[in-house]
Amino acid sequence: MQTLTILGSTGSIGASTLDVVARHPQRFSVFALTANRQHPRLAQQCLRHRPRYAVLRDAGAAEQLRQQLRDGGADTEVLCGEAGLQQVAAAAGVDMVMAAIVGAAGLKPTLAAVAAGKKVMLANKEALVMAGNLFMRAVEESGATLLPIDSEHNAIFQCLPRPFTGLEQAGVRKILLTGSGGPFRTTPLQQLDTVTPEQACAHPNWSMGRKISVDSATMMNKGLEFIEACRLFAARPAQIEVVVHPQSVIHSMVEYVDGSVLAQLGNPDMRTPIAHALAWPRRIEAGVASLDLIAQARLDFQAPDLQRFPCLRLAMAAARAGATAPALLNAANEVAVAAFLAGKLSFARIAAVIESVLEQVDTAEPRDLDVVQTADLQAREAARRAVGRWSSQ
Ligand code: NAD
Ligand code: MG
């Protein structure tokens, strides 16, 4: 029996994780579930899965959850705040942690799980993008097992040999990172200025949280994933090629020096990479339908259009620049996307906000977490100023 903490259980990845876990009651038990402030949803999940702990970042919401659980007759203990998140990520009774908080807010709890040497299943790509080499160094030092949940990185992981000691040693020529191109792949460019959050969140293939949905529409998601792949597989930016593949059936590929290209395919359903990581190195049923290649009939591929998707261009440049550039990019993007979702910034200006932050804020060598967090704060400040300038025009 493996015990599991889910950081961000009320989100899209959290719910898919609980779906897979519920299919295997003999194999997994839930130690803790956490969320930001969605206490009704978390209460439902606690009554169903009976974790030892539930954590809400928000103290007021935690009080309401306590009441709801008392009324429901659950003896789950409710904690709150950053300390509560870190406690259930690192607790001695936990074997595995699903890191599925969205954004930089997930960094510290995820790092707590890493430092405690857990098996960490990483969905929270922003944490890795932001902290960079500090994150991977912490994994090495603690002996934690890091398994990628992002479908592309999970696919790459599956296409690489084990044990993996580096791309050169493995004979890898390049990584082919696939992406659907999102809902605006063919939208006339002049219409991109007036698209709404609802249009941006209507992804053709995947159902996801709102922030990553907007990231997919700008292709910043692929940019963050580009940086994520550099970190996870110790790849140089030149070793990664982004390929647009609208059907999202191939989740990424690895090309070897002998010309072999290995791909991982499947229906676009996050329960596949989640089940892969939960049971690794074994395989378990995930509730995912068989891939029907005959019905699928064709798979298409294109080069990414960096004119249409400036966020992807900015992210690839940040990957090449290194230092705290990815942290600045990520923080500016979080502010810009939140402003777009709040109706305060046009879709097309998301990239403009990020570009202006990258031009204004100096990068530094990310020696420790303080440097990273200062970069994050400076970028947020500069991004808010840029949003203020553009939203009043
Ligand atoms: P979501 O918005 O559906 O869920 C986010 C979760 O994080 C919720 O449980 C929320 O309560 C919690 N949360 C948000 N802010 C918080 C804060 N400040 N403190 C504590 N908890 C907080 O997002 P999602 O789509 O499930 O994505 C989660 C992560 O997984 C993201 O980093 C995303 O990029 C990554 N990811 C998601 C998918 C997908 O298919 N949804 C695929 C690949 C990677
Ligand atoms: Mg992905």
Q: Which two tokens stand for residue 344?
A: 């305060």
Please determine, for residue 171, whether its predicted confidence score (pLDDT) is greater than 70.
yes
Query: Which listed ligand is nearest to 58 at the C-alpha?
Result: 1
The predicted structure's pLDDT at residue 392: 63
Residue that wins the pLDDT comparison between 308 and 203: 308
Is the CB of 42 inside a 6 Å radius of any atom of ligand 1? no
Q: Where exactly does CATH 3.40.50.720 map onto the chain?
A: 2-148
Question: What is the rounded distance in angstroms from the CA atom of residue 271 to the CA atom of residue 142?
Answer: 28
Confidence of residue 327 (pLDDT cuts 50, 70, 90): very high
pLDDT of residue 59: 96
Q: For residue 107, how far is its CA from the centre of ligand 2 (angstroms)?
A: 18
Mean pLDDT over each residue of the chain, to the nearest integer: 97
Ligand nearest to the CA of 203: 1
CA of 134 relative to ligand 2 center, distance in Å: 22
**CB atoms near residue 221 (< 10 Å):** 29
Alpha carbon of 242 to ligand 2 centroid (Å): 12
Confidence of residue 276 (pLDDT cuts 50, 70, 90): very high
Distance 36 CA to ligand 1 centre (A): 10
4 pLDDT above the threshold of 90: yes
Does residue 270's CB lie within 6 angstroms of at least one atom of ligand 1? yes
pLDDT exceeds 80 at position 21: yes
Q: For residue 109, which atom of ligand 1 is closest to its CA? A: 20
Please, what CATH class does the domain formed by 2-148 belong to?
alpha beta
Is pLDDT at 151 greater than 90 in this prediction? yes
% pLDDT > 70, the chain = 99
Ligand closest to Cα of 7 equals 1
Shortest-distance Cα residue to atom 30 of ligand 1: 123
pTM of this prediction?
0.98
Mean pLDDT for 56-71 is 97
Long-range contacts of residues 344-347, Cβ cutoff 8 Å, at least 24 apart: 344/387, 344/391, 345/387, 345/390, 345/391, 346/193, 346/194, 346/390, 347/192, 347/193, 347/194, 347/195, 347/200, 347/217, 347/218
Q: Give the model confidence (pLDDT) of 244-258 as tens digits.
A: 999 999 999 999 999
Q: How far is CA 362 from the centre of its chain?
A: 26
Side chain identity at residue 344, one-letter code: K
Predicted confidence band of residue 391 (pLDDT cuts 50, 70, 90) = confident
pLDDT at 132: 84
Taking each helix axis as running N to C, give the angle between helix 12-22 and helix 271-279, from 0 to 180 degrees, rounded to the nearest 10: 60
pLDDT digits (tens, 9 = 90+) for 69-110: 999 999 999 999 999 999 999 999 999 999 999 999 999 999
Q: What is the pLDDT of residue 261?
A: 98
Angstrom distance (rounded) from CA 215 to CA 229: 17
What average pLDDT does this structure show over 353-360? 98
User: Is the shortest distance between the CB of 99 and ligand 1 below 6 Å?
Assistant: no
d(CA 144, CA 380): 31
**392: number of Cβ within 10 Å:** 7
Establish whether residue 256 lines the binding site of ligand 1, counting it when its CB lies within 6 angstroms of any ligand atom. Answer: no
Query: Which candidate, 289, 282, 287, 269, places its Cα nearest to that of 22?
Result: 287
Let me know: does 374 contact 340? Beta carbons within 8 Å: no
Closest CA to 89 of 122, 132, 125: 122
Confidence at 206, pLDDT banded by 50, 70, 90 = confident
**pLDDT band at residue 393, thresholds of 50, 70 and 90?**
low
